[in-house]
Structures are given as C-alpha cells and as structure tokens.
Amino acid sequence: MYLTPEKKQEIFKTYGKSVSATGDSESQIALFTARINHLSVHLRSNKKDFDTQRALLRLVGKRRRLLDYLKEREIERYRAIIKALNIRK
C-alpha cells in the first residue's frame, strides 16, 4: 500500500496540530494532496484507467471544498497550507 499508517502519522504530525488531530482541515488537505499526487503519477502511465481518473477528480473536489472552507474561516491558515504543500490556486 502506498500510504502506510506510519506515513499518515507523519503527514498529520507535519501539517496538523498534533498526531491525534486527524480531522483538522490542514491534516485532511495534506492527506488528500498525498493521495492526489500518487494517483497523478499512476495516471501518467495508465492513461485509460478511467475509474482512477474519476476518483482523482473527486479527491480534487474534496480538497478544493476544504480549501474554500479554510479560506473563508482563517485566511492565514489557508495561505500557510497552500505555501507548505505547494498547491497552486
């Protein structure tokens, strides 16, 4: 599996408030970004995998909604996570 529990804990520790804060917007955005990057690499070599393509688009939409929510609530946290994950807006 590409995303082991240890890797998830590392993501939560790096971008969230703590390891146990798995529901924070920043943690979820970072987790979605890792999954999006993995699926993007997969789709470069498997161009006709339409199920994975659909899953990727759903993940991008989920991440976009979380980013919009964070942007409305706390703009500084939004700017920090965009910069840390190198996500273009």
Domain map of the chain by residue range? Answer: 25-85
- pTM over cut 0.75: yes
Q: Can you give the pLDDT at residue 89?
A: 67
Q: Can you give the pLDDT at residue 88?
A: 82
Please tell me the CATH code under which domain 25-85 is placed.
1.10.287.10
Q: Can you give the pLDDT at residue 17?
A: 80
Q: Can you give the pLDDT at residue 19?
A: 81
Map tokens 């529990």 to a residue: 5
| Ramachandran assignment for 16, one of left (phi > 0), alpha (psi -120 to 50 degrees), beta (any other) | beta
Average confidence (pLDDT) per 10 residues, the chain, 89 residues = 86 84 89 95 95 96 96 94 89
Burial 3-25 (b: 16+ CB within 10 A, else e): eeeeebeebbeebbeeeeeeebb
